[in-house]
A = this chain, B = another copy of it.
Amino acid sequence: MSEAPMSSSLHTAPEENVVTDDVFRKAMRELAGGVAVVTVGHGGDRTGFTATSVSSLSAEPPRLLVSINRASSSWETLERYRNFGVSVLRVGHQGLADRFAGLGGLRGSERYRGANWMKLSDDGAEILQDALAGIDCVVEEILQLHGHAIVVGRVRGIRIQAEGQPLLYWQGAYRQIAQREISR
C-alpha cells in the first residue's frame, strides 16, 4: 500500500492502470523457471535459443509447448524443418545458456561450440549429451499470435540423465535449488 496521502490516489487516472511492459517484466521475473535450450536445424543450418517457457501439455500422447519470437532466426529454421530438440540444462551450463540467449553475439551453429551433441532420431535436431533430459519433438501445431508463435511438439524421443541439479532463472539471474526438500 502506498504511504502517500489519500488525496494522491485521486490522481490515479484510468490510463495509469494500464500495465506497462516494464511492470509486466518485473512480475514475470518473480516466476522462477527451469532453463532449457531449444535446438533447430541441421549442420551449418543449426541454430537455437534459450527458453524458460517449455512446459508439458499432455502425457498421453506426450506433447510439450514452447513459445518463440517470430523475429528470431530460430523461428524461420523451425518452420522449415518442423522439428526441434529440448535440452533441460543443469548447473554448469550457464555459459551455454548465455550463448543460446544471444549473449556474446554468436549466431547459428557457432552457439553449439564447446559442448557435445547427439541425435535421438535421424532427422531430429541435436540435443545436449549431458542435459538433465533431452527431448526430440516433431511440430504438431503452431499458433501464430502477433509477433510470437506457440509451438506444440509431439515427443518422439527422450534421453534422461537425472544426476545433477537443474539450472534455474529467477529475477534475472541464474540460480540453483536448495539441497533440502521443503515440507508440504
Task: List chain A positions with a Cβ less than 8 A from chain B.
Answer: 17-19, 21, 23-28, 30-34, 36, 52-65, 67, 88, 91, 94-95, 98, 132-133, 135, 141, 143, 145-148, 150, 152, 155-158, 160, 162, 166, 168, 170-171, 173-179, 181-184
Contacts and interface: CB of A to CB of B under 8 A. Distances in A.
Nearest to A64: B28
B178 A31 contact: no
A88 B55 contact: no
Contact of A24 (B55, B158, B170): B158
Contacts of A184: 94-95, 98, 174
Nearest to A21: B59
B26 A150 contact: no
